[in-house]
């Protein structure tokens, strides 16, 4: 993975295409991203939760000081 957004690293034209790909192929997982978190951050958070590793600064995304980094609109 690079420092780009996941959709860019995958060679997709935009995030909307990645979200549709996720919905079509992994609907259960895609439904968990119901707050539209950036996909790399979402996957990282899912892996951390599964491993019971607390790396986020807050247990609630809405209260976290990094909220804008995870949920801000992506630049193209």
Residue 65: predicted pLDDT: 85
44 to 3, 13, 61: CA distances (angstroms): 14, 22, 14
Instruction: Show me where the domains of the chain are located.
Output: 6-71
Tens digits of residue pLDDT in 11-62: 999 999 999 999 999 999 999 999 999 999 899 889 888 888 877 777 778 8
Instruction: Say how far apart CA 22 and CA 49 lie, in whole Å.
Output: 20
Instruction: Say how far apart CA 36 and CA 73 lie, in whole Å.
Output: 10
Residue 67: predicted pLDDT: 85
């Amino acid at each position: 993975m690079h420092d780009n957004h996941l959709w860019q690293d995958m060679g997709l034209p935009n995030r909307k295409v990645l979200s549709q790909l996720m919905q079509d192929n992994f609907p259960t997982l895609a439904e968990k991203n119901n707050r539209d978190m950036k996909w790399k951050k979402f996957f990282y958070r899912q892996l951390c939760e599964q491993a019971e590793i607390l790396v986020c600064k807050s247990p609630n995304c809405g209260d976290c000081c990094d909220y804008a980094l995870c949920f801000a609109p992506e630049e193209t």
